[in-house]
Amino acid sequence: MEIKNNSQLNSILYAFTQIFTDILIYQICMHIMFALKGDSADYNFEIRAFLSGIVVICYASSSLYAFQNWTLWNEVSEILKSSVLILLLSVLYIYANNFNFSRFAMVIGILIFVPIDIIARYLLRRIFYKAGLFSSRVLIIGAGNAGELFAQKITSHKFMCSKILGFLDDDEAKQNIFISGVPVLGKLNDFENIQLQIKADEAVIAIPTASRQNIAKILSRIENNISYVKYIPDMYMLTTLSAVISNMDGMPVISARQGLLNPVNRIIKSFMDYFGGFLALILFSPLMIFAAIKIKLEDGGDIFFKHKRVGQDLKNFYVYKFRSMVPNAQEILKEMLKDENLKKEFSEAFKFKDDPRVTKIGKFLRKTSIDEMPQIFNVLRGEMSLVGPRPIVDEEVKKYYGYNTSKQIFHIKPGLTGFWQVSGRNDVKDYRSRIEFDLYYIHNWSVWLDVIIILRTVREVISGKGAY
């Protein structure tokens, strides 16, 4: 069990409450759909019990009752996978027994069940956490960049129900200070005394560059006093592996795969792009028309802006956006780059946080990401994917990527959104991290990862965080 509670009773109570909630929501959704189709009279107790059992078994097989200390997006991913299996098994059961139920009603019932269940699970976990019945107390070993980033991630993902108690770090300069609002409690030699006081459930070793010998020393010191230990490896090394650890007759083996080298997966991704692009065009047409009218009315200039970007196989293409700057933006840029501070900012991100060239409507379009919507046409033209690496300019390839890395990343199409965009967007200043996000996506691609990135993009767009 990953989330350690002070009482096993709390865990059991949560499990039964969650099972009851899942079954209740599923049955209400199915009952409503069958009632609308006139099949509710035949939906008897035996069928209800069997279908409820399918829900519990499928959810349990995906560790949805195992209290995984994961993010909401991990939970959503497992719920989506399990719901597909629930639907298939339910339809098979009804077909095998010749029950006269509408398959369409079952499909719609599942589609209604999934979002309601996700919301219910989130609220239930937060209720247990607020009541002090369900939480994980975390101590981070290492107060460097990796430890700080981990603490920020934990803090931003309330669904994880984790509380960062503090850091341990041997750096004298970091003693008795706060990092991202979390105190440095002492050095590693103080671990036993500090653990007696704070009683952490989980320790996270956040020293990616530590040698195996040092990691072994840290583990030997803490593993007898703490029940669950995690280690954060160097992120760059992680991107080279879609790591799955298995056991080969007592020998640990790490397996790696690259999903997008599979032709079938590429076909699936292309189908998702064209279907999703067509659907997005229909849904967002009113917003796009609104944006076009406002741009034209403000200064009478062009509605669209096109810019040369690096595409699949390093071939250039023009990406389309709604124009968000004044018509003479390039001339103004040349003058701005005479300022050394502005030149340095532009060289790091190829944009400015406070750009005077942005129009009034342009600020709104950028904040809401409406300026990116014309890229739907790039998707439908086969130049971009809905999800993929960032579409970059040639200068970025030369300055940051290099030929080999850029070739590795851009053997697939760039994306309208991507892993970087949902991991801080423009707030991610370190360029190496941006590249690593793209590499991580390439090596860990799956249909579910694309779905989660799209869902997280919706959240990022609504919040407007990191957009400028």
Reduce the secondary structure of 309-370 to three states and give it as a string.
EECHHHCEEEEEEECCECCCHHHHHHHHCCCHHHHHHHHHHCCCCCCCCECHHHHHHHHHCH
Kindly report the average pLDDT of the chain as a whole number. Answer: 83
Tens digits of residue pLDDT in 316-336 = 999 999 998 888 777 888 778
Question: What is the per-residue pLDDT for 337?
Answer: 79
Token output for 384: 């971009």
Amino acid at 158: K
Question: CA–CA separation, 446 vs 78, rounded Å?
Answer: 13
Burial of 256: CB neighbours in 10 Å, binned 0-12, 13-18, 19+: exposed
Question: What is the per-residue pLDDT for 253?
Answer: 65
Query: Looking at 29-43, 144-158, 386-400, which range is the least confident one?
Result: 29-43
Token output for 425: 């967007």
pLDDT higher than threshold 90 for residue 420: no
Most confident of 214-223, 269-278, 425-434: 269-278
Q: Report, as an integer, the average pLDDT of 183-199.
A: 91
Most confident of 68-82, 99-113, 403-417, 420-434: 403-417
pLDDT higher than threshold 70 for residue 237: no
Residue with tokens 């669209």: 304
pLDDT confidence bin for 240, thresholds 50/70/90 = very low
Q: Which residues contact 294 (CB under 8 A, 6 or more apart)?
A: 361
Question: What is the per-residue pLDDT for 386?
Answer: 95
Longest dimension (CA), the chain: 78
pLDDT higher than threshold 70 for residue 252: no
Question: What is the per-residue pLDDT for 211?
Answer: 81
Question: CA–CA separation, 412 vs 385, rounded Å?
Answer: 9
Question: CA–CA separation, 198 vs 373, rounded Å?
Answer: 49
DSSP 3-state percent helix, strand, coil across the chain (nearest 5): 60, 15, 30
Query: Looking at 42-46, 236-240, 460-464, which range is the least confident one?
Result: 236-240
Distances (CA, A) of 411 to 312, 364, 382: 6, 34, 14
Question: CA–CA separation, 137 vs 243, rounded Å?
Answer: 27
pLDDT higher than threshold 60 for residue 278: yes
Question: What is the per-residue pLDDT for 54?
Answer: 94
| pTM for this entry | 0.64
pLDDT higher than threshold 50 for residue 169: yes
Residue with tokens 């990691």: 215
Query: Looking at 197-201, 275-279, 433-437, which range is the least confident one?
Result: 433-437
Instruction: Name the more confident of 160 and 191.
Output: 191
Tens digits of residue pLDDT in 343-393 = 777 766 667 777 788 888 988 998 888 999 999 999 999 999 999 998 988
Token output for 39: 């099949």
Question: What is the per-residue pLDDT for 374?
Answer: 95
Q: Report, as an integer, the average pLDDT of 252-275.
A: 80
pLDDT higher than threshold 50 for residue 407: yes
